[in-house]
Amino acid sequence: MEKLCKYGTHRVIYPLGALPQSADKLDNNMVCQDNEILIQVKTLNIDSASFTQIEDAANKDKEEMKRMILEIVNQRGKMQNPVTGSGGMLLGTVKEVGKSIAKDVKAGDEIASLVSLSLTPLKINKILAIHLDKDQVDIEGEAILFETGIFAKIPSDIPSHIALAALDVAGAPAQVKNLVKKGNSVLILGAAGKSGVLCAYEARKQAGPNGKVIGIIHHDTHQAELEALNICDHIMIGNAKNPMEIYEKVMAVTNNEGVDVTINVVNVQNTEMASILPTKSTGIVYFFSMATSFTKAALGAEGIASEALMIIGNGYTANHAKITLDILRESKEMFYLFQKRYGKE
């Protein structure tokens, strides 16, 4: 193993010189180095785009999904879907803390990682269960966090699996808090998903009574749940792969002006133009979805002469864990929704 590096390059097997996220293979030998934290992993919260891809490829066969996940981890030393490139996050208990770690953490603490599984050394001994409705996988295994790896201690007032589901997408509502201004019109693509409802809540809060929040959902499965939150001015069913359909629906409720901010949190490909077209040329498009092709977004915006500011969905925003968990504390309706969807079975 190379000289210890705070970014984890000492765990990179190949290609040498790469950082752990972009590496093809990591050393997942679960011996805790001085600048690492060793975690006994309980649950993996797989990135939505990755989970959907694996689920579709396996035709929802859980045993085949287990095989695929184990194959990825055994080959790469981490849970990084080779198709989507994305990972997810984990829930577990701290097993050991390296002597060089200067953080408020000790053995026995229950934590959720706030860095991607795509850069986290992971070893799975056994997959215990796959929860298709939660994008979660219960395992027996261990993982390593580097000294620069951020995490959140599971709070005492929010059950661990509910906190895990919310923290998985914590960067999205926290970024919405920064992007949306009073009186803005905001479009949420994928508004009924877990990141969608959190983003819509924060958009409603920041835009205020004079703003407008438009939620696009793919089907009516969770429409009643979204309506019950009372955070969207308009909820419309539409196919985000059909940009003109979305454009026409949004223009119809914005007096043909378009929106100031668009938030894309869908988990399928080819939704870039459905995000850009309805957005004002002076507006902002936030691509939180890991299914986004930034080539398609950049060239597509050029093709329609849009100079909207396009932002990559960085999963980290300052104080994002607290901002997101506070939504569950502020909104009884949101907490109950997360409890219904992601509470322990």
Q: Which domains does the chain have, with CATH numbers?
A: 9-154 (no CATH), 171-336 (3.40.50.720)
What is the mean pLDDT of the segment spanning 169-196? 96
pLDDT confidence of residue 338? 96
Dihedral of the CA atoms 206, 171, 53, 89 (nearest 10)?
-140
Whether the full predicted model's pTM is greater than 0.85, yes or no, is: yes
What is the mean pLDDT of the segment spanning 159-181? 94
pLDDT confidence of residue 148? 94
pLDDT at 331 exceeding the cut of 70: yes
What is the mean pLDDT of the segment spanning 296-323? 94
pLDDT confidence of residue 296? 96
pLDDT confidence of residue 289? 85
pLDDT confidence of residue 266? 93
What is the mean pLDDT of the segment spanning 248-274? 96
What is the mean pLDDT of the segment spanning 123-139? 96
Dihedral of the CA atoms 96, 97, 99, 101 (nearest 10)?
170
pLDDT at 344 exceeding the cut of 80: no
pLDDT at 267 exceeding the cut of 90: no
pLDDT confidence of residue 345? 57
**Quick one: which of 38, 31, 50 has its CA closest to 118?**
50
**Quick one: which of 207, 198, 172, 208 has its CA closest to 328?**
198
- Looking at every residue in the chain, the average pLDDT score rounds to 95
pLDDT at 105 exceeding the cut of 80: yes
Asked if residues 169 and 200 have their Cβ atoms less than 8 Å apart, the reply is: no
DSSP 33: -
What is the per-residue DSSP string for 95-142?
EEE-TT--SS--TT-EEEE-S-GGGS-EEEEEEEEEETTTTEEEEEEE
pLDDT at 1 exceeding the cut of 70: no
- pLDDT over 90, % of the chain: 93
2 falls in which pLDDT band (50, 70, 90)?
A: low
pLDDT confidence of residue 167? 94
**Quick one: which of 215, 210, 238 has its CA closest to 228?**
215
CA distance 232 to 227: 7
What is the per-residue DSSP string for 304-338?
TT---EEEE--S--TTHHHHHHHHHHH-HHHHHHH
Convert the pLDDT of each residue in 106-122 to its tens digit. 999 999 999 999 999 99
Convert the pLDDT of each residue in 183-226 to its tens digit. 999 999 999 999 999 999 999 999 999 999 999 999 999 999 99
CA distance 120 to 124: 12
What is the mean pLDDT of the segment spanning 318-340? 96
Side-chain-facing half-sphere of 3: CA atoms under 13 Å: 1
pLDDT confidence of residue 302? 97
Convert the pLDDT of each residue in 48-90 to its tens digit. 889 999 999 999 999 999 999 999 999 999 999 999 999 999 9
